[in-house]
Amino acid sequence: MATTPTVDQNLANIITEIIQKYKLDPKSKINYDMGSNDGEGYLSRSLSVSITDEEKDTLNLFIKSALDISDDGLMPLKSLYANEIHFYETIYPAFFKFLNEKGVLAFENVPKCFATTPENVIALENLAKEGYVLLGDGKFMSNNEIELALRTIARYHAICFAFKDQRYEEYLKLTEPVKDTSVPLSNQNFVIQRKSFTYNFLSNLDPVKDEYMIRKVEDLIHSPNYGVYDTFSANSEYSILIQGDFWNNNIMFLYDDQTKRPINIKLVDWQMMRPALPVHDLSLFFYNVASKDALNRLKYFLKVYHDELAENIRQLGSNPDLLYPYSILEKHWKEYGKHGFVLALINSLLVLVEKDENFFSFEDVDLNNPESWASLYKKIRKHDEYVERLKAIADHMIINNFF
């Protein structure tokens, strides 16, 4: 039985604002549907809304709002939503203007934003109605999908590098309001939670056959900053405003109807954008989407990313050899790429979980109790596949001396 969506006053207000802003008929027909169930969006609930004005095209919206959970610093909902609203209202328009002044094609790989409110409500275009889909079903990305995603994030990174290079004071003003929402994720409870997930993974390995892998991962656990987010890279000369949550659930693909090849993507959910090194976007992405074959082609994919980055930086009038040479990308990957493994311990669960498992319900998780977080590990049906994925990443890390 379908769930009836709840339309509270904040949602009603933003719909009214959009009708007025876009000069739609006040008597337009409005249809509501569930965008997602509580918990499926992790920190958001969403509503799919269609506004039909008989004299104009139907306006299809995806409206997201914060869940009614405690904003206690561990999950800083106000900061997360403030970041995303700041991106759509201020940062993206500034970048759009920058590209226009340079005579460069606009970066249109984000959903159009129709309105936002101080009550943490954001109304976006409904990408599903345009044919965009999440990968879903725990699938690895194909090489074509990985390349398209890397080229897209490279173009966004290039805009950040060039803007920072040429308009540094304006860049500082743009980024100053951004809240580093990764700081709470370096809270001791979260670090313990990540270590718990790691030990759970190790407990599934063969103590004889996998002895070397167990030893290397245990060494990693005891290394400085294990489980800590990338806050230490924010002030690097190579830091930019990264997307911050660049993984499967925030990338929507559009496919050619005949060839089934990916032809475009949209990057959604900008709540965790922050100043950091590009490698944090890249490693989070790569180690959540790469099959064993793709893992073996890491250098190729890094070149795909960097070639696109360099070309776009040049088009914007800056020098990529100064702003982010390939040698620095390689160095950063060796130093920080291991964080992709740490994040894959959790994100791989989110990718593989089946809809009816209700894996990420905040009703079941005490955010202040690491044991409660770690208990999520046991809920997934695709347990064996999860372990094999992590073994492949760990083996890749060991072979390449990343840890």
User: Is 336 found in the same domain as 231?
Assistant: yes
CA-based radius of gyration for the chain: 21
| Residue 81 maps to a domain | no
Q: What is the DSSP secondary-structure string of 214-229?
A: HHHHHHHHTSTTTT--
| Residue 73 maps to a domain | no
Q: What is the reported pLDDT for 217?
A: 95
pLDDT tens string 37-73: 444 455 678 899 999 988 888 999 999 988 765 555 5
Q: In this structure, what DSSP letter does residue 355 have?
A: G
Alpha-carbon distances of 284 from 72, 245, 277, 280, rounded to whole Å: 25, 8, 12, 6
What H or E segment, with its residue span, contains residue 21? Answer: helix 9-21
- Chain mean pLDDT for the chain: 88
Query: For residue 251, which phi and psi values (nearest 5 degrees)?
Result: -130, 120
Entry pTM: 0.92
Between these two residues, 88 and 69, which has the higher pLDDT value? 88
Q: Please determine, for residue 376, whether its predicted confidence score (pLDDT) is greater than 70.
A: no
| Residue 224 maps to a domain | yes
Q: How many residues does the chain have?
A: 403
User: Is 52 found in the same domain as 146?
Assistant: no
User: Is 149 found in the same domain as 253?
Assistant: yes
User: Is 371 found in the same domain as 258?
Assistant: yes
Mean pLDDT of 207-236: 82
User: Is 62 found in the same domain as 180?
Assistant: no
Q: Please determine, for residue 272, whether its predicted confidence score (pLDDT) is greater than 70.
A: yes
Q: What is the reported pLDDT for 76?
A: 75
Q: What is the reported pLDDT for 231?
A: 52
User: At which of 66, 91, 106 does a domain end?
Assistant: 66
pLDDT tens string 109-149: 999 999 999 889 999 999 999 999 998 778 899 999 999 99
Between these two residues, 369 and 262, which has the higher pLDDT value? 262
Single out the residue of 343, 326, 353, 384 nearest to residue 136, CA to CA: 353
Q: What is the reported pLDDT for 196?
A: 81
Least confident range of 12-26, 222-236, 315-329: 222-236
Q: What is the reported pLDDT for 39?
A: 42
Q: What is the reported pLDDT for 368?
A: 58
Q: Please determine, for residue 341, whether its predicted confidence score (pLDDT) is greater than 90.
A: yes
User: Is 273 found in the same domain as 146?
Assistant: yes
- pLDDT band of 188, cuts 50, 70, 90: low
Q: What is the reported pLDDT for 229?
A: 56
Q: Please determine, for residue 361, whether its predicted confidence score (pLDDT) is greater than 60.
A: no
User: Is 354 found in the same domain as 241?
Assistant: yes
Q: What is the reported pLDDT for 246?
A: 95
User: Cα 278–127–150 angle (5° rounding)?
Assistant: 25
User: Is 198 found in the same domain as 52?
Assistant: no
| Residue 77 maps to a domain | no
Q: What is the reported pLDDT for 1?
A: 43
Q: What is the reported pLDDT for 391?
A: 97
CATH number at 364 reads 3.90.1200
| Residue 105 maps to a domain | no
User: Is 284 found in the same domain as 195?
Assistant: yes
Measured distance CA(201)–CA(377) in Å, rounded = 9
Look at the block and give the residue holding tokens 């989070």. 284
In this structure, what token pair is assigned to residue 122?
């954001």
Q: Please determine, for residue 184, whether its predicted confidence score (pLDDT) is greater than 60.
A: no
Q: What is the reported pLDDT for 51?
A: 95
| Residue 91 maps to a domain | no
User: Is 347 found in the same domain as 259?
Assistant: yes
| Residue 165 maps to a domain | yes
Between these two residues, 362 and 261, which has the higher pLDDT value? 261
Range of the domain at 318: 133-399
CB atoms within 10 A of CB 396: 19
User: Is 58 found in the same domain as 138?
Assistant: no
Mean pLDDT of 171-193: 78
Mean pLDDT of 278-283: 96
| Residue 110 maps to a domain | no
Q: What is the reported pLDDT for 74?
A: 55
Q: What domain count does the chain have? A: 2
Q: Please determine, for residue 89, whether its predicted confidence score (pLDDT) is greater than 90.
A: yes
Share of the chain above pLDDT 70, in %: 85
Strand pairing report for 44-52 and 113-117: unpaired
User: Is 330 found in the same domain as 203?
Assistant: yes
Mean pLDDT of 327-337: 95
User: At which of 45, 66, 87 does a domain end?
Assistant: 66
Q: What is the reported pLDDT for 29?
A: 93
